[in-house]
A and B are shown apart, each in its own frame.
Chain A
Amino acid sequence: MYTFSNRLRVVAIALMILGAIGVAYGFMTSHKDFDQVETLLASESHHGEGHGETAGHDEAKDHDSHVTEASHAEPAEHAQVDEHTKHVNHIMHAMHKRPWAALYVAAFFFFMIALGVLAFYAVQYAAQAGWSPLLLRVMEGITAYMLPGALIVLGIAIASGVIGHYGLFIWMDPDVVAHDKLIQAKSGWLNISWFGVRGLIFIGGWYLYRRFSRKYSLAQDKADDNKNFIKTFRISAAFLVFFLYTESIMSWDWIMSVDPHWFSTLFGWYVLAGMMVCGITVIAMITIYLKSKGYLPKVNDSHIHDLAKFMFGFSIFWTYLWFSQFMLIWYSNIPEEVTYFVTRFQDYQLPFLGMVAMNFVFPLLLLMNSDYKRIPWFVIMAGIVILCGHYIDIFNMIMPATVGDQWAIGIPEISSILLFAGLFIFIVFRALTKAPLEPKRNPFIEESEHFHY
């Protein structure tokens, strides 16, 4: 049995408190009113000798998702004042949205780790993998975060619409929808109540699988036949079908709809690939941590090697999907689709390209060598780079549509990460204490103990 060490518990709670303070600070400082933003912009444009002002005007015009397309036929001087007001309003809204978006990115990032692990766990059962049963309890521990994590993500999404001045999803804003024919046409799908119901159906389905697979897994320890294993095998196969549909729809709902004018067909797989990499990376990191504390004596370097292979493979799979999405849109350059990448290239160049280096080049070169994949600290280092890279991946999905060029990685963003990292550690390691770390009567446990690559 694993015991949650006091030090780790203190670290987790400290992270949560520190994160909560930072998040609160982010919300308090973001609510600048019109005049404050105006003076802020004025002082900025003085520094930049007026460049900021003109560039900002273009930005406001381009940003069709924020500016309601009501064409005014007014005298020139009126139009100029109007433009200025619009611009300041635009920047002000972006500033208001920042703590919401920061919170949402971090919440989604940690939730997606847990959901990725749940899918990987189901794959292990459905494929009757012989190497992994020793790691199943670690995976069950991580998936304990799935339910609270998913509810938090859905909660933030809906709260941002109900109490947060439509901080994340502009299609939740009835005023925007009234002036936007494109969103009107999608409002049969994109409306808050159906969005919430859909989310709850997804979460309910995932939770049922997690609950019953855990129950059968624990029952299998005490059973004298393999009935429980067979049941898990069946529900895993069924869950994987359900998961592929719901994960795809979830990624349209929870991520793609921040840009309700844009759509991409392989978006669901793309999110899935990122999810799987992060999930497997976290499995590897927690396994290495537990092994270093002496809790998983039977896990050998071949298990670590296999996990690192999955990290390597899924990193490349993620890159494949990222590039396929990017290249198809870049190549055909259809204006209504390409704006997605134009804003990312103009305002997010470093995170956008840096993420590709972190999620592809690093794992490719670090994890190619078979010997390196067996060295725990090497896998941890590669894992940290991969996790940071995929945080930035989610950041790049959410931020351009919410805060636009007002992004930064500052107190709201880092505090949100700390908050959810603390919560994640707390829930996962508490779940790990609830059951023995080695499944006893799994039909493949013997093979897993002697697994050697």
Chain B
Amino acid sequence: MEASKVIHAIYTDDDVLMAAVKKVKSAHHHIEEIYTPFPVHGLDKAMGLAPTRLAIASFMYGCVGLTVAVVMMNFIMIQDWPQDIGGKPSFSYIENMPAFVPIMFELTVFFAAHLMVITFYLRSRMWPFKKAENPDPRTTDDHFLMEIAVQNNEKELSNLLKETGAVEINLIDKAH
């Protein structure tokens, strides 16, 4: 359920923003979103966001890549056509394994890296021709914007945000 009215509080300094986030959180207001021009260290912790699980996904993708490499080379080099190539022992996978390690390594990294990046794109909804969701173009340059849902408490909320050092407070009606 998204609130139809939100407040956009704009800050010009990331330290002020961090302090504001802590204050707003301690006053038990729900922060919908924060837009910043660059990563602000510790912002996710202050907002109470859950840690990312991308690393876990990447580990599993790496395991998939390793499996693909092993199965592929076992089939091609050992099962399907076990030729004698320069005296290399193609009798079993393990006997010729050192020769396969470079490919096993590279495919593990390839899968782990690329699938993780694709997962990141999907989870954060990024693709070419995607319409930018930017409430204020200044947030890509030097302004920080905090979006807070309003539930008939605009006055109280905007006073609180003023106190935290917001340089601009706008009430936005999202229901078009």
Contact = CB atoms under 8 A, between A and B. Distances in A.
Contacts of A333: 87
Interface string A325-339: 011001101000000
Contacts of B55: 370
B101 A327 contact: yes
A331 B98 contact: yes
12 contacts: A323-B98, A323-B101, A326-B98, A327-B98, A327-B99, A327-B101, A330-B98, A331-B98, A331-B99, A333-B87, A368-B59, A370-B55
A179 to B, nearest CB: 33
Contacts of B98: 323, 326-327, 330-331
Nearest to B55: A370
A326 B87 CA distance: 17
Main SS of the interface on chain A?
helix
Contacts, number: 12
Interface of A: 323, 326-327, 330-331, 333, 368, 370
Nearest to B59: A368
A327 to B, nearest CB: 5
Q: How many B residues touch the partner, as a band?
A: under 10
B38 to A, nearest CB: 20
B55 to A, nearest CB: 8
Given A327-B98, A327-B99, A331-B98, 9 more contacts: A323-B98, A323-B101, A326-B98, A327-B101, A330-B98, A331-B99, A333-B87, A368-B59, A370-B55
B70 to A, nearest CB: 15
A323 B59 CA distance: 22
Contacts of A326: 98
A140 B98 CA distance: 40
Nearest to A326: B98
B35 to A, nearest CB: 26
Interface in B87-108: 87, 98-99, 101
Contacts of A330: 98
A116 B132 CA distance: 52
A323 B102 CA distance: 10
A231 B20 CA distance: 45
The 6 closest A-B pairs by CB, nearest first: A327-B98, A330-B98, A331-B99, A323-B101, A327-B101, A331-B98
Contacts of A331: 98-99
B60 to A, nearest CB: 12
A430 to B, nearest CB: 42
A354 to B, nearest CB: 16
Q: Which of B55, B59, B98 lies at the interface centre, i.e. has the most chain A CB atoms within 10 A of its CB?
A: B98
Nearest to B41: A452
Contacts of B99: 327, 331
A312 to B, nearest CB: 14
Contacts of A327: 98-99, 101
A349 to B, nearest CB: 13
Nearest to B99: A331
Nearest to A332: B86
A333 B99 CA distance: 12
A370 B98 CA distance: 30
Contacts of A370: 55
A241 B61 CA distance: 41
Contacts of A368: 59
Interface string B50-82: 000001000100000000000000000000000
Contacts of B101: 323, 327
A214 to B, nearest CB: 36
Nearest to A371: B51
A330 B59 CA distance: 30
Interface string B96-138: 0011010000000000000000000000000000000000000
Nearest to A368: B59
A342 to B, nearest CB: 14
A371 to B, nearest CB: 10
B73 to A, nearest CB: 15
Nearest to A369: B55
A333 B87 CA distance: 10
A370 B59 CA distance: 13
A330 B98 CA distance: 8
Nearest to B88: A331
Nearest to A323: B101
A323 B101 CA distance: 9
A330 B55 CA distance: 35
A330 B87 CA distance: 12
Nearest to A330: B98
A99 B98 CA distance: 34
Nearest to B42: A452
A368 B112 CA distance: 14
A384 to B, nearest CB: 24
Interface string B18-30: 0000000000000
A326 B99 CA distance: 11
A159 B99 CA distance: 42
Contacts of B87: 333
A3 B165 CA distance: 52
Contacts of B59: 368
A368 B58 CA distance: 12
A184 B84 CA distance: 40
B140 to A, nearest CB: 28
B48 to A, nearest CB: 18
A66 B87 CA distance: 30
A131 to B, nearest CB: 16
B113 to A, nearest CB: 15
